[in-house]
């Protein structure tokens, strides 16, 4: 939460508390929150004890979950498999839990789509990190000492982060090629000035996402990509498939075949990495090529990452309560789509599986006048 958005929420009828120091790493002081009308709590116990709704970036840990009141509503990024213990505590408390990862990718939900806002920050950051790590210019330079060619950048995975990485590398003057397994990515990459690399492997999944490649397809892709990778000064990777480990697109021998001084920026590091040599949060140098495993990339642009996240949260909160009353709109497909626990009951398959409890999906109430059943 950032002070400006907190003020907007307070004006809309919410009471807001943050823990002292919560905004320090993003340049928001306790005094700025207090000035916006936010109450600044000294510790987690004081913060959480009276909370009706808890909004955070990462899911609570079991201790934090234990400090929350019964019936609390929690809103955060959430990987059910990695938060099993905290989810069990919350389920026992009858909590209702929403995950930003599951906000449907529909037009009306774009203002609440924190996956997209944070991916935008990550893609921009990746472009800058690449330029910083490369001991070459990104733009073409025509100088008295002669002409220097532009850097060659390859972006693999042209989702929200990849598109922003392309835009950033282009703004800095690099020549950019882009690769994805979704056909729609070609036009989007080209609209930003990249040349699309078409390997003839298409992997459209459901909901506009990519599907996981078969082992044979992945091997064919790795082989075909090798020549494109080794011809690049910089490779920025962002490929991911929801709910799965990131695909390994660059094998070790391909990194070793890159020209010394080359740079790989792996934005999928937190999810296993797109490069076989990636170590999350570390820079690994192999035969002169640097592989940067970027950990939690939005945290490296904390002020604007926080601003966008706070706006996303405020927009989603508008569907969860209004005029001072907490009352999720259970007929709204966005509310239903991102809910994993409702009053302690798993309403999301993978969460039910993690908790070993029955899955009871939410069905929207039929609107007045709707007739049930039959299509004649």
- The residues that are catalytic are 105, 110, 113, 116, 209
| Smallest gap from residue 156 Cβ to ligand NAI (A) | 6
Structure tokens at 331: 């007929």
Q: How far apart are CB 124 and ligand NAI at their closest, in Å?
A: 14
Q: Could you tell me the smallest distance in angstroms from the CB atom of residue 46 to ligand NAI?
A: 36
Q: How far is the CB of 89 from ligand NAI (least distance, A)?
A: 29
**DSSP secondary structure letters along 253-296:** HHHHHSPTT-EEEETTGGGT-SBTT--TT-EEEETTEEEEE-SS
95 vs 250, which CB is nearer to ligand NAI?
Answer: 250
Nearer to ligand NAI, 212 or 252 (CB): 212
d(C-alpha 142, C-alpha 313), whole Å:
47
Instruction: Output the six-digit token pair for 171.
Output: 């703004």
Closest residue to ligand NAI in the complex (CB):
159
**Positions that interact with ligand NAI (CB under 6 A):** 105, 107, 110, 113, 115-116, 119, 156-162, 179-182, 185, 208-210, 213, 238-242, 247, 249
> Helix or strand or coil: residue 102?
helix
For residues 245 and 242, what is the distance between their CA atoms, to the nearest angstrom?
A: 8
192 closest CA partner among 168, 227, 220: 168
- Output 176 or 341, the one with its CB closest to ligand NAI: 176
In the complex, the smallest distance separating the C-beta of residue 256 from ligand NAI, rounded to whole angstroms, is: 21
Contact 133, 263 (CB under 8 A): yes
Nearer to ligand NAI, 184 or 327 (CB): 184
Helix (H, G, I), strand (E, B) or coil at 298: helix
User: Cα–Cα distance between 25 and 22 in angstroms, integer?
Assistant: 8
DSSP state of 2: -
Q: Find the shortest distance in angstroms from Cβ 136 to ligand NAI.
A: 25
Closest CA to 71 of 342, 366, 277, 374: 342
Residue number with CB closer to ligand NAI (159 or 321): 159
Cα separation, 194 vs 188, in Å, equals 9
Angstrom distance (rounded) from CA 341 to CA 337: 11
């Amino acid at each position: 939460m950032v002070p400006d958005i907190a003020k907007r929420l307070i004006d809309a009828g919410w009471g807001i508390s943050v823990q002292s120091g919560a905004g320090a790493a993003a340049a928001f002081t306790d005094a700025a929150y207090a000035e916006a009308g936010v109450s600044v709590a000294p510790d987690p116990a004081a913060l959480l004890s009276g909370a009706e709704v808890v909004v955070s970036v990462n899911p609570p840990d079991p201790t934090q979950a234990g400090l929350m009141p019964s019936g609390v509503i929690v809103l955060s990024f959430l990987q059910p498999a990695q938060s099993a213990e905290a989810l069990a505590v919350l389920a026992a408390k009858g909590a209702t839990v929403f995950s930003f990862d599951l906000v449907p990718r529909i037009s009306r939900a774009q203002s609440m789509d924190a996956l997209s806002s944070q991916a935008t920050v990550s893609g921009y950051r990746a472009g800058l990190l690449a330029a910083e790590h490369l001991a070459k210019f990104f733009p073409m330079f025509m100088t008295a000492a002669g002409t220097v060619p532009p850097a060659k950048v390859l972006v693999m995975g042209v989702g929200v982060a990849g598109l922003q990485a392309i835009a950033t590398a282009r703004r800095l003057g690099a020549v950019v090629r882009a690769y994805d397994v979704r056909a729609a990515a070609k036009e989007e990459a080209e609209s930003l000035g990249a040349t699309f690399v078409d390997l003839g492997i298409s992997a459209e999944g459901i909901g506009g996402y990519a599907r996981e490649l078969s082992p044979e397809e992945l091997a064919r892709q790795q082989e075909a990509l090798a020549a494109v990778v080794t011809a690049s000064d910089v490779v920025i990777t962002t490929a991911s498939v929801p709910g799965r480990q990131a695909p390994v697109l660059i094998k070790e021998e391909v990194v070793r075949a890159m020209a010394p001084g080359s740079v790989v920026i792996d934005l999928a590091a937190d999810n296993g990495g797109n490069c076989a040599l990636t170590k999350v949060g570390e820079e690994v140098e192999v035969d002169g090529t640097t592989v940067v495993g970027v950990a939690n990339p939005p945290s490296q642009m904390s002020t604007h990452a926080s601003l966008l996240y706070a706006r996303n949260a405020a927009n989603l909160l508008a569907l969860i309560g209004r005029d001072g009353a907490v009352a999720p709109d259970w007929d709204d497909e966005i509310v239903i789509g991102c809910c994993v626990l409702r009053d302690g009951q798993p309403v999301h398959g993978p969460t039910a599986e993690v908790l070993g409890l029955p899955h009871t999906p939410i069905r929207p109430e039929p609107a007045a006048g709707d007739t049930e059943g039959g299509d004649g």
